[in-house]
A and B are shown apart, each in its own frame.
Chain A
Amino acid sequence: MKDAVDAKLIVNGVEAGVEIAPGRRLSQALREDLGLRGTKVGCDAGDCGACTVLIDGSPVCACLTPAAQAVGRDVRTVESFENGVLDNLQQSFLRHGAAQCGICTPGMLVAASALLTRKPVPTRTEVEDALGGVLCRCTGYAKIVTAVMEAGLAPEPVEAPMAGQAVGAAIERLDGVPKVAGREQFGADMIREGMLAVRAIRSPHESTGFTLGDIAAWAAERGVEVFTAADIPGENRFSVIPAFRDQPALAVSHARMRGEAIALVAGEPEVIEALNLVDFPVTWVPEVSLGDPDQAEVGDAPRMHEDREGNILIRGLVQRGDAEAALRSATHVAEFAMETGYVEHAYIEPEAGIAWMEDDVLVIRACTQAPVMDRDDTALVLGLPPERVRIIPAAAGGGFGSKLDLSLQPLIGLVTLKTGRPARMIYTRRESMSSTTKRHPARMRARAGIDAKGRIAGFEFDGQFNTGAYASWGPTVAVRVPVHASGPYFMGDYRARSRAVHTNGPVSGAFRGFGVPQAAILQETLFDDLAIKARIDRLQFRKLNALKDGEPTVCGQELSGVGIADCLESLTPHWDEALARAAVINAQKGRVRRGVGVASCWYGCGNTALPNPSTIRAGLRSDGTLWLHQGATDIGQGANTVIAQIFADALGVPVGRIGLIGGDTALTPDCGKTSASRQTFITGKAAQLAGAALRAQLLAMTNMGEGATLSLDEGRVCVTDGTRDTAIELANLQVQPDGYVISAEESYDPPTGALDENGQGAPYAVYGYGAQIAELDVDIELGTVKVVRMVAAHDLGRVINPMLAEGQIEGGIAQGLGLALMEEYIPGRTENLHDYLIPTFGDMPEIQSILIERPDPEGPFGAKGLGEHVLIPTAPAILNAIRHACGARLKRVPALPHRVLAAIREAGEIGG
């Protein structure tokens, strides 16, 4: 018998040099003891599969395997794939765009390799079964399935796009190789000599006072250090919107939500890992909690924040014409109320990062979507000037809005500042889910009318958004919703109100769409009510009311490049076919009914009625290399690639010649935050301007006209106009302090205007549009729903990279499907990935993307944003299809089987 001895592992054919505690998770042993950080950890509970490794050829979750069970067996990790070159599977992932953020990629590759060994050209079902245990939150799985199915097939040769042809080309991600190689460094993947590990003590109650006991004695006994609010040198209050700063980095004497941090424990990593925090000296004094916004809004409810009467954070209003009067004279009127719950971002990477000092600058390398905001807020909390904080965004393992807010930055920053030592923190899955932001739960009511011709005549919307304990992006949601609640339709008489209400629930923040997806769930299902009442085909109804160029929006803004009609038109043949299929199936009157639904979206790109500039810098070095300082954080959506494509064409060189620098607040100018679908449009435009400026300099230096062709050679730029060839010898030029011989920097801030008291004005310079059809089956005995097919038409203005655009659509649909059918975050009960369900491989429909190009006069090369749009129509299209299938009109999402069944009953007899 082997007992209690530490044993050595053989990993990727090599015997490990260190002994490992036998009862330790293999994932932890690989990552921390052996330094093999290609294996990722997303949950420590078997739920995400990111930690998948092979033991004797069989995939297992390393997080569930005691190291002792791997001893003497053949352990293979993602590191075994790469012998200098990518293998076929990895290349296939790259070629098909199967890695977006890349955090799930190692687990996918390892699970797929076990299948491909058995079955070199597997079927779709085989791929799904073999990879079903690995979750991906970005891709919607479609491209992963294809990448695995085609890994064994020889790729069709593709030529790299020539100069001027990058825009529109489906090129591979420029930052993709490390992702498919398993070499990408996410927040948890960097270590530094002498680092401390940090854990947080968090409130177990929704609302609680607390007093700390003898922390010094507790810490001394354990050889650790404890930090509390009393140690914070700066202002212990932050928020993404400065005017609403209300959230402490560490609570002072009262916590307003579960999961709120009240103290930090820092020490040697092995001590911290083994530490039991249950005996931490704190006494909780739980208080009455405001769990429900209805309860928080009533007059005598205790105020959560001194200055916020009625616990109302903010109200929003957009009105135009006279909605009430219009509704009174409408031919048909429909009214409905709906409710949505908290939704969790559920990126596979829990928050993680490391801080260290470089001279007197505090450097923080952590997951983020907003490096400059992180810098400024962290500096404020820690009492430092912003230039003494440097943020280096780690590769982000998904964000979707939540990583816009500060999480661990001020915490590890504080420890490093106080101790002078590097400090690393990795959130547990529970910590990530309980302490970070969510999608706002909404309670909404709307009334809409149409005239005899089916044109919208009057629309009223009122929405209450539960914004949780702190402000975060609550103000943005409250402002965005009334602007968008009309959908992309023309309506002259409109009134939409919103309010964000504080409760002791989780902080509601930004999540793909800032409240617009919730509003669309009501507005688009209400439009079906109207179409059904008026006996108009539901797609036809939308075409009839679609906004057109020159028609004022509900804010009175006249737009050009409005693509919604094109989107709806392109869906028409698919709609007809789907309806025909449904009719055949439903004629059998079986227990499975087919339903078809459609819904639209529009979404303004960038901040609402506020400035939000981006700046791009680029330069040539004397050796002829070209560098793009690209500060737009790529959280998987593809900014690194798309911005470079735009820049390449503006300058007129092949995209392959560009080297990327950043993001890093010390190296890249501010590109703002990765949110509001603004990067392709705004940073893209800055890149286009910077490329054009650099080009203009080169042409001026050579006295060439606009049509000349540039090419970069070693040490020189060659310029030709077909009749004359000339070159700039870069070595002869003066090297500037920034290291460049020629450089350009350009900013772009979209032209928007403030909204007046009725919400009238020009809140966004550019909007994107889309519409989706959902085709699904409802089991009318069990209430289960299986989405069979989605057709998604999105107007991107100009498609910069079709492969990345499709990836956004597929991923957005996956999240929309989750919102519609399974996702509901219940504080204290679903703080893990087995009670909080997100779609798996087996839950995704076939997806067909239709990319529409109706150029926007403002966007770079005509481009519009896409990132958030894609999620908005999915849930309402699914709800409309459920009703079409079986009559069930859901009042709340997710449409869990028991809710669908109850709604079927309520609707009465199912038609044929």
Chain B
Amino acid sequence: MGAYLQPDTLDEALGILAREPVTIAAGCTDLFAATESQSLNGTVLDVTRIEGLRRIAKDATGWRIGAASTWSDVIAADLPPAFDMLKQAAREVGSVQIQNAGTVAGNICNASPAADGVPPLLSLDAHVEIGAKGGPREVPLAEFLTAPRATVLMPGEMVTAIRIPDVSDKGESRFSKLGARKYLVISIVMVAARLHVQDGFVRDIALSVGACGPVATRLAALEEALRGTPLAGLPDRLQPDLIASALTPITDMRASDEYRREAAVHLLRRVLDDLTLMRSPV
């Protein structure tokens, strides 16, 4: 069994990362679930006691979700309505036990195609802040995730935060997850939508779909088609072909590819129904 390192500061952590290969551990909800071993193997770098890493706050350029922030921290945080979809996703991650330990950063680093955090973060134009001894870098989330279980993280690097730019914390948002049972369920399909309305027109819209391809995806073409259109009748203008063409779902024991494609359209229409209704004068 290797060493178990629990640094107090980011500098120490980055120093360790530069020195030796380690397994980065946060909430360990993915790490321990993936092994039958009774201990984490190899050298472990536990990031949960790094000062300042478990904080969700706003600064001059936008929002910052520290890498040790848990799903429960997201639920408890005071955030604008654009983050409602992230909070909804947080409430549907596993169970309360999982939400209390699992981190948002761990969710994206684990890079599961069914990671519930990814669609809402994509719809918030999230960037991933990466720390390394040589200095930090920032990568858009869409580029951070490259394939199932793969990211652009290099040896010696760790995620220090997830950043949401100022311009993207606008509007209202909704998340919807389809699973075969209520709690503790891996998504068959999930969608996250953020809608920014101005004077009855769609000023900005961000739509993402997860579990319908190797990584979750934004529906750029559809968004483009909807931007600037009137709010009234928005859900009816969802073009199924623009959704289907962006998705590459697989058939597995949870559902068929065809089903996933269809369900994504229904879920998107429903979240948009919901968001439109909310904005329409009663």
Contact A130 B96 (CB under 8 A): yes
A3 touches B5 (CB 8 A): yes
Q: Are A69 and B46 in contact (CB under 8 A)?
A: yes
* Complex-state Cα separation, A203 to B223, whole angstroms: 51
Which of A44-52, A767-775, A874-882 contacts the other chain? A44-52
Query: Which residues of A are found within 8 Å of B263, using beta-carbon distances?
Result: 782, 897
- Let me know if B36 and A133 touch, CB within 8 A: no
In the complex formed, the residue of A with least CB distance to B91 is A129
Give the one of B1, B183, B259 with max A CB within 10 A.
Answer: B183
Question: Interface readout for B246-266 with A: 1 if CB under 8 Å, 0 if not?
Answer: 000000011110110011001
Option from A23, A821, A902 in Cβ contact (under 8 Å) with B44:
A23
Q: Which A residues lie within 8 Å of B188 (CB)?
A: 897
On whether the beta carbons of B94 and A46 are closer than 8 Å, the reply is yes
Q: Which of B21-29, B150-158, B234-242 contacts A (4 or more CB under 8 A)?
A: B21-29
B4 touches A842 (CB 8 A): no
Contact of B254 among A44, A134, A781, A896 (CB under 8 A): A896
Check A843 against B182 for contact (C-beta < 8 Å).
Answer: yes
Binds A, one of B80-88, B97-105, B166-174, B225-233: B97-105
Closest 6 CB pairs of A and B: A133-B95, A842-B182, A132-B183, A898-B259, A22-B4, A4-B3
Q: Report which of B97, B180, B255 forms a contact with A133, defined as CB distance below 8 A.
A: B97
Segment of A55-63, A179-187, A389-397, A604-612 engaged in the interface with chain B: A55-63
CB distance from A776 to the nearest CB of B (A): 14
B46-A68 in contact (CB<8A): yes
CA distance A21 to B182 in the complex (A): 36
Main secondary structure on B side of the interface with A? loop
User: Contacting A4 at CB < 8 Å: which of B5, B27, B259, B267?
Assistant: B5
Which residues of A are found within 8 Å of B29, using beta-carbon distances? 46, 61, 64
A-B pairs under 8 A by CB, number: 162
Q: How far is the CA of A84 from the CA of B25 in the complex (A)?
A: 39
B4 adjacent to A68 (CB under 8 Å)? yes
Residues of A close to B95: CB separation below 8 A: 46, 49, 132-134
Complex contact B184–A25 (CB within 8 A): no
Contact call A898/B8, Cβ cutoff below 8 A: no
Contact assessment for A46 and B4 in the assembled complex, using a CB-CB cutoff below 8 Å: no
Given A58-B100, A840-B181: A274 and B255 interface contact (C-beta under 8 Å): no
Known: A45-B32, A822-B181. Contact between A782 and B98, CB under 8 A? Answer: no
Contact present for B97 and A835 (CB under 8 Å) = no
Q: Does residue A273 face the partner (Cβ distance < 8 Å to B)?
A: yes
Q: Tell me if B180 and A898 are in contact (CB < 8 A).
A: no
Residues in A neighbouring B110, C-beta threshold 8 A:
none
Interface size on B, residues (CB 8 A): 50
Residue of B nearest to A840 (CB): B183
Contact A834 B182 (CB under 8 A): no
- Chain B residues lying within 8 Å of A901, measured Cβ to Cβ, are 259, 262
Choice from B28, B97, B183 contacting A841 with Cβ under 8 Å? B183
Tell me the chain A residues, 55-99 only, with Cβ under 8 Å from chain B. Answer: 55, 58-61, 63-66, 68-69
B6 touches A896 (CB 8 A): no
Q: Is the CB of B98 within 8 A of A46?
A: yes
Is B271 positioned at the interface, with any CB of A under 8 Å from its CB?
no
- Judge whether B38 is part of the interface by a CB distance below 8 angstroms: yes
Contact B33 A1 (CB under 8 A): no
Contact A111 B97 (CB under 8 A): yes
Determine whether A829 belongs to the interface, using a CB cutoff of 8 Å to chain B: yes
| Residues 32-57 (chain B) with a chain A CB within 8 angstroms | 32-33, 36, 38-41, 44, 46, 48
On chain A, the residues within 8 Å of B27 by CB distance are 64
A69 contacts across to B, CB distance below 8 A: 28, 46, 48
| A24 interface residue per 8 A CB criterion | yes
The CA of A24 and the CA of B35, in the complex, are separated in Å by 12
Identify which of B1, B36, B48, B262 contacts A428 (C-beta below 8 A): B36
- Please, how many angstroms separate the alpha-carbon atoms of A130 and B29 in the complex? 18
Instruction: Give the contacting residue for A129; candidates B96, B98, B256, B267; CB below 8 A.
Output: B96
Q: List 16 A-B contacts (CB under 8 A).
A: A4-B3, A23-B1, A28-B38, A59-B97, A59-B100, A60-B97, A64-B33, A64-B97, A65-B101, A66-B44, A68-B46, A135-B184, A821-B180, A829-B253, A835-B253, A898-B255
In the complex, which residues of chain A have a beta carbon less than 8 angstroms from the beta carbon of B9? Answer: 1
Residue on A nearest B33 in the bound complex, by CB: A45
Using A782-B263, A842-B182, A896-B255 as known contacts, say yes or no to A68 and B6 having CB atoms under 8 A apart: yes
Q: Tell me which of A44, A830, A839 has the highest count of chain B C-beta atoms within 10 A of its own C-beta.
A: A44
Bound Cα distance from A232 to B256, whole angstroms: 47
The interface residues of chain B lying within 8 Å CB-to-CB of A65 are 28, 32, 101
Chain A count of residues within 8 A CB distance of the other chain: 62
Among the interface residues A4, A63, A64, A273, which one has the most CB atoms of the partner chain B within 10 A?
A64
**B98 close to A274 (CB less than 8 A):** no
> When chains A and B are docked, how far (Å) is the Cα of A25 from the Cα of B29?
11
What is the bound-complex CA distance between A52 and B9, given in angstroms? 30
B12 at the interface (CB under 8 A from A): yes
Q: Does B72 contact A (CB under 8 A)?
A: yes
> With the chains together, A12 CA to B179 CA distance in Å?
37
Q: Any chain B CB within 8 A of the CB of A2? A: yes
Within 8 A of A (CB), among B65-85: 72
Cα–Cα, bound, A735→B44 (Å): 65
Which of A2, A61, A840 sits near B101, CB closer than 8 Å?
A61
C-alpha gap A130/B100 in the complex (Å):
12
Q: Which one of B44, B182, B262, B266 lies within 8 Å of A840 (CB-CB)?
A: B182
Cross-chain contact A896 with B180 (CB below 8 angstroms): yes
A824 proximity list for chain B (CB < 8 A)? 253
Per the bound structure, the CA–CA distance linking A376 and B38 in Å amounts to 35
Q: Please, which residues of chain A bring their CB within 8 A of the CB of B262? A: 901
CA distance A742 to B42 in the complex (A): 65
Chain A residue at minimum C-beta to C-beta distance from B256: A898
Q: Which residues of A contact B (CB under 8 A)?
A: 1-4, 21-25, 28, 44-47, 49, 52, 55, 58-61, 63-66, 68-69, 111, 128-130, 132-135, 273-274, 428, 430, 781-784, 821-822, 824, 826, 829-830, 834-835, 837, 839-843, 896-898, 901-902
Q: How far is the CA of A896 from the CA of B252 in the complex (A)?
A: 12
Q: Hey, which chain B residues are within 8 Å of A61, CB to CB?
A: 29, 97-98, 101
B140 at the interface (CB under 8 A from A): no
**A837–B180 touching, CB < 8 Å:** yes
Judge whether B209 is part of the interface by a CB distance below 8 angstroms. no
Contact A826 B253 (CB under 8 A): yes
* Interchain nearest-CB distance for A240 vs B (Å): 29
In the docked arrangement, what's the CA distance between A50 and B260, Å? Answer: 32
Q: In the complex, what residue of chain A is closest to B72 when comparing beta carbons?
A: A58
Contact B181 A133 (CB under 8 A): no
Asked if B7 CB lies within 8 Å of chain A CBs, one says yes
Task: Indicate which residue in A21, A58, A64, A784 contacts B39 across the interface (CB closer than 8 Å).
Answer: A21
Pair B266/A133 contact, Cβ less than 8 Å: no
CB-CB nearest in chain B for A114: B96
Complex Cα distance, B64 from A537, in Å, reads: 62
B244 at the interface (CB under 8 A from A): no
**Closest residue of A by beta carbon distance from B36:** A428
Tell me the nearest residue of chain B to A28, going by C-beta.
Answer: B38
Q: Chain B residue with minimal CB distance to A72?
A: B49
With A64-B28, A65-B101, A896-B180 already in contact, 17 other A-B pairs whose C-beta atoms are closer than 8 Å: A3-B7, A22-B4, A24-B39, A44-B32, A60-B97, A64-B32, A66-B40, A66-B44, A66-B46, A274-B1, A782-B178, A782-B266, A782-B267, A840-B181, A842-B181, A898-B259, A901-B259
Q: A21 contacts which chain B residues (CB < 8 A)?
A: 1, 4, 39
Contact call A59/B32, Cβ cutoff below 8 A: no
Bound-state CA distance A52–B99 (Å) is: 13
Contact B5 A1 (CB under 8 A): yes
Distance (whole angstroms) from the CB of B27 to the closest CB of chain A = 7
Nearest chain A residue, comparing its CB with the CB of B34: A45
Contacts of B28 in A (CB 8 A): 64-66, 69
The verdict on B185 contacting chain A, using a C-beta distance below 8 Å, is yes
Q: In the assembly, what is the distance between CA of A45 and CA of B28, in Å? A: 10
Min C-beta distance of B235 to chain A, whole Å: 13
Q: Provide the residues of chain B in CB contact with A829, threshold 8 Å.
A: 253
**A22-B4, A23-B1, A896-B254 known; A132 vs B40 contact (CB < 8 Å):** no
